[in-house]
Amino acid sequence: MSAEVVSLSPKGHGDSPSLDPILSLTAQSMNAVNAVILERMESEIPLIPALAGHLISGGGKRMRPMLTLAGAELVGYQGDHHHKLAAAVEFLHTATLLHDDVVDGSETRRGKEAANIIYGNPATVLVGDFLFSRAFELMVDSGSLRALKVLSDASVIIAQGEVDQLTAQRKIETSEERYLNIIGAKTAALFAAASRISAVIAGCDAEQEKALDDYGRNLGIAFQLVDDAIDYDSERAEMGKDQGDDFREGKMTLPVILAYARGDADERRFWQDAIAGFSNNDDDLVHAVKLIGKHNTVEATRERARHFAERACDSLSIFPDSSARRAMVEAARFAVARFY
């Protein structure tokens, strides 16, 4: 099948990319997904819905379940199993966020006090486990063993990616290749699975499955690259977590990897001390942002994100033009252009 290249270039002067097309496309189905989420996070133990609801209702865009719903529209799926699978995707994502905040000692999430600060680490970890369990229950309810395999495989990869990130923490020698492998696992794997399962339950051929997997995987990498760039953007501190979190936690993200590689001897010594945890106060963060600005590594990171988003869009070229395909292309453009 011949493929056309889907351009990622701006649509016109002042025409900013938006999530509106994919939000409109999936609005009705998302109502059904939200109903499943509300039903399945209920428990006779009051702490469980209270803690889970604190994060689930905290203003996230639900990008990952939206990909499942948009993919279903793209391939013309006529059933309703995608609602439970999209809810499972959201539960998997929420569970990983709860666990991440405990591991990172985060104080805020999406501009609110993090669940671990309000409820404590033990409760946060256990409610994360509850949501993982609910996710697998929903996968089984969907009746698709292949969808269950796709999402369970992704869960393993995500966990491995989180462990890999933990072992790379405070290691200045972390390479760009290793960094991309980490975000490919901890972020992009769920984007890929969320997109692919629509083709699985619709009985699509292997080429269409791979195309949706490629779309989600490349979009996920682009999405994480932009998140990591925003953490060092001196003009954009609002992104759902405190600016400088990655710096204080000693995470080797791409803006730092590039700044370290491009820096002189004094700058490298600063980064060595900062990543090791010896120089990470507010003044050090200001200096880090200055160095990153000097070497333009936020824009370099965004440029790499544009590359992956372009690959995501190109993967959809095997599908005929439709409102669903256009909405998914627009979502990839938004992922790169956003500043929060």
Question: Do residues 6 and 316 lie in contact, with contact meaning Cβ atoms separated by under 8 Å?
Answer: yes
Residue 179 falls within a domain, yes or no?
A: yes
For residue 111, give the CATH number of its domain.
1.10.600.10
Range of the domain at 146: 20-337
3-state secondary structure of 108: strand
Question: Do residues 212 and 196 lie in contact, with contact meaning Cβ atoms separated by under 8 Å?
Answer: yes
Residue 147 falls within a domain, yes or no?
A: yes
Residue 13 falls within a domain, yes or no?
A: no
Residue 5 falls within a domain, yes or no?
A: no
Residue 203 falls within a domain, yes or no?
A: yes
Q: What is the pLDDT along the chain (340 residues), one digit of tens a residue?
A: 333 333 343 333 346 889 999 999 999 999 999 999 999 999 999 999 999 998 888 767 799 999 999 999 999 999 999 999 999 999 999 999 999 999 988 888 877 888 999 999 999 999 999 999 999 999 999 999 999 999 999 999 999 999 999 999 999 999 999 999 999 999 999 999 999 999 999 999 999 999 999 999 999 999 999 999 998 985 554 444 457 888 999 999 999 999 999 999 999 999 999 999 998 899 999 999 999 999 999 999 999 999 999 999 999 999 999 999 999 999 999 999 987 6
Handedness of CA 193, 198, 201, 206 (dihedral sign): negative
Could you tell me the two tokens for 318? Answer: 């095997």
Q: Residue 112: which H helix or E strand, with range?
A: strand 112-113
Please give the model's pTM, rounded to 2 decimal places: 0.91
3-state secondary structure of 43: coil
Q: Which residues are CB-neighbours of 29 under 8 A, at least 6 positions away?
A: 69, 72, 82, 83, 86
Q: Which residues are CB-neighbours of 105 under 8 A, at least 6 positions away?
A: 116, 249
Residue 2 falls within a domain, yes or no?
A: no
Residue 166 falls within a domain, yes or no?
A: yes
Number of CB atoms found within 10 A of residue 249's CB:
17
Residue 175 falls within a domain, yes or no?
A: yes
Number of domains in the chain: 1
3-state secondary structure of 330: helix
CA 106 – CA 291 distance, rounded (Å):
25
CA 203 – CA 163 distance, rounded (Å):
34
